[in-house]
Amino acid sequence: MTVLEPYPGLYAYYDGRIVGKRLYSEAKNWLDDGAYSLGIATYALVASHEAIVYDSHTSLDHARAVRDHLEGLGVTAIRLVLSHWHTDHIAGNAIFADCEIIANRLTAKALIENVKTLARKTPPINPVVMPNRLFEGQMTLMLGPRTVELLQFDIHSADGTVLFLPDEGILLAGDTLEDTITYISEPEHIATHIAELNRLKTLPIRRILPDHGAREGIAAGGYAPSLIDANRDYLQRLLDRAEDPALDTLSLRDFVAEDIDAGRIIYFEPYEAVHRANIAEVRKARGIDAADQG
């Protein structure tokens, strides 16, 4: 894991996107074949002895390394904010069990409903440590001189929470935005996700730090607001072309070529598999028989 500092007092804990390296096993599992292969960063804001951590990373070892780094900086008080309930964002919660853990009410509900499912995952997440401070819609926190806004968005997952620094225009996006493309986990809600991406775009954002993106881009300060356009337009194109048989022979690189050429996103080959899975999910949600696409 690499510790980056894209802005003063804002740290990114990045791991993954290492060709040929796996952390858990050679067999298919959510850690190696999802978060690690695509690369993942979680974040921490630090002011004096206080820190706000945004997502607890992919494992207890990763979370422990994050906490060790913060304590090495002199941090004695930590608040953990959860971007949403998915595995690679809550797997390290137990390391912060003695801290305030903040989430929106939908995240808490999803964690409660999926305790047994998460415990059966490979690798398992057990125990599932629950948030102990909940909000709905919006919450404002202070960290030293920084104003920190937690804002709820139904993008990627119905329980999404982004972290926005209004004075600096910096957005910590969780999984609401990704580079190269968004991962579709709730295909039946894509129209809502598109509308919510338009709402997200109304924020006065200068730079975006996603959980899944290029290490170099995050280290250099993140992405331009045009990343929102790229993610939104990808979803819209999928909806528009779901019934087109030619979609099956078109690579992701070609499907998003305009956004790559414009520098809104960076092509990363492992997202080809994500794209194929997204096509299948959209077709399934719309009742399109895959056999009819041949």
Q: pTM for the full model?
A: 0.96
Model confidence pLDDT, tens digit, residues 21-63: 999 999 999 999 999 999 999 999 999 999 999 999 999 999 9
Name the CATH superfamily housing domain 2-293.
Ribonuclease Z/Hydroxyacylglutathione hydrolase-like (3.60.15.10)
Domain assignments of the chain as residue spans, ordered by start: 2-293
For 77, residues 6+ apart whose C-beta sits below 8 A from its C-beta are 49, 50, 51
> Which two structure tokens, joined as six digits, stand for 65?
């390394």
Whole-number Å distance between alpha carbons of 152 and 159: 7
- Is the Cβ–Cβ distance between 66 and 42 less than 8 Å? yes
pLDDT band (50, 70, 90) for residue 291 = low
What digits encode the pLDDT tens for the residues 215-274?
Answer: 999 999 999 999 999 999 999 999 999 999 999 999 999 999 999 999 999 999 999 999
Distance (Å, rounded) from C-alpha 198 to C-alpha 134? 25
Q: Tokens for 110? A: 């999803």
CA quadruple 115, 271, 20, 209: dihedral sign: negative
Amino acid at 6: P
Asked whether the predicted pLDDT for residue 290 surpasses 80, the reply is: no
Beta partners for residue 76, in sequence order? none
Nearest-angstrom CA–CA distance, 170 and 222: 9
Q: d(Cα 256, Cα 234) in Å, to the nearest integer?
A: 7
Distances (CA, A) of 66 to 41, 48, 154: 11, 16, 28
User: Which segments of 120-225 does DSSP mark as H helices, in order?
Assistant: 190-200, 215-219
Q: What is the rounded distance in angstroms from the CA atom of residue 99 to the CA atom of residue 75?
A: 12
- For the chain, helix (H) and strand (E) counts, in that order, are 12, 12
Q: How many residues does the chain have?
A: 294
